[in-house]
Amino acid sequence: MKNGLETPNVLGIDPGSRRSGYAVLSCEEDRPKIEEVGVIELSTSLDLEDRLVELAGEMSDIIKQHNPTIAALEGVFSHGKFPRSALILGHARGVCLLECRRLGMSISTIAPAEMKRLIAGSGLATKPQVQRSVAAWCGLKKPPEPNDAADALGMALFQLRKLTPHLRVTP
C-alpha cells in the first residue's frame, strides 16, 4: 500500500479456443511485477464445448490463486476471411468474461491495436515487436513465449499503466 492506495493486481487475458494466454501483474516501486505469466493449453482432442469447460476451470483456478482486482481482455476483432474463427474465439472470450465476473472482478476490454500502440509504440506492431516490448517493460532477459502469453502480458501492462500512470519500465 502506498499513500493509502492499494496497488492493483491485474489479470491480462488473450483468450483462445485451443490456447489462452494469461498474465498476472502487480506494481512494485512504480514498476510492473510479474506474479505469473503463461498459457492454458486446452485438449485439442475434446469437442469445443468440453474445451470451454476446461478453460473455465483453469481460469477460475488462476483467479482464485492470485485474487486480481481487474481483468483486461483482448477485445473482439474479426478477419473477414475467417468469420467462423471469430465466432469460436468469441465463445472462449465469453467463458473468460463469465469466470471473471462470476468471481467478482471488474473487467476492461482492450482493442489489440490500442494495446500495441501503448506498449510497443505502434498499433500495427508485429507479434515479435510486442514480445520484445513487454520483455523490456518487465525487465525480462528474453521475450515471453508463446505470443499468447506475450499478448496477455501486454493486456495486463496496458491496464496496469492505465491504473498506475507513473508506472515505469523495469531496468
User: Which residues are the active-site residues?
Assistant: 14, 74, 148
Q: Residue-wise over 41-67: b if at least 16 C-beta within 10 A, else e?
A: ebeeeeeeeebbebbbebbeebbeebe
User: Rounded CA gap, 150 and 138, in Å?
Assistant: 11
The C-alpha atoms of residue 115 and residue 121 are separated, in whole angstroms, by 9
The x, y and z cell numbers of residue 106, run together, are 471488474
Q: How far, in Å, CA of 164 to CA of 157, rounded?
A: 10
Q: In this structure, what DSSP letter does residue 1 have?
A: -
Decide the pairing of beta strands 70-74 and 10-14.
parallel
Give CA angle at 41 (40, 43), nearest 5°.
135
